[in-house]
Amino acid sequence: MRTTADRIRHAVSFEVIGILIATPLAAFAFNMHAGDSMVVVIGSATVAMLWNYVYNLGFDHLMQRLRGTTEKTKVIRVAHAILFELGLLAIMLPMIAWYLQIGIWEAFVMDMGLAIFYMVYALVFNWVYDRIFPLPEWQEQQGA
């Protein structure tokens, strides 16, 4: 399994790159002022970073217990991304509605737009991250 330092590197790099991409996209897509877009994206990223650590730690423990490995198949990667975003949606929806002074439906639509972006981004980012920083146990299993 990944170390605490590796999990922190993963979460921070994921969020910093995501913020740089999502802030201007959200401002454009939702016709928001850049400042509001930045607050929503950075606030979401901060909550997501904490959720990312807790969620991935739990997910890896579950994978280790059920499968004996933390290596993810393509199907598990898709399920991993979807479940992560559903949890984040439940956390972020009321915060976005409150900050932007909008209804739950508008906040839901906005959050779903961000969630779809981040699901695709998470799939790509995690695949690349696992290739750049593979775990030794994966290489041992492939050689067996």
Provide the number of structural domains found in the chain.
Answer: 1
Q: Contact, 111 vs 89, CB < 8 A? A: yes
Q: Is the pTM of this model over 0.95?
A: no
Condensed to tens digits (0 to 9), the pLDDT of residues 44-98 reads 888 988 898 899 999 999 999 999 998 889 999 999 988 988 888 888 999 999 9
Tell me if 125 is assigned to some domain: yes
Closest by Cα among 1, 9, 104, 111 to 59: 1
Condensed to tens digits (0 to 9), the pLDDT of residues 25-47 reads 999 999 999 899 999 999 988 89
Condensed to tens digits (0 to 9), the pLDDT of residues 85-131 reads 888 888 899 999 999 999 999 999 988 888 888 889 999 999 999 89
Tell me if 144 is assigned to some domain: no
Domain that holds residue 60: 4-139
**Residue 140 pLDDT exceeds 80:** no
Tell me if 80 is assigned to some domain: yes
Other C-beta atoms closer than 10 Å to the C-beta of 87 total 14
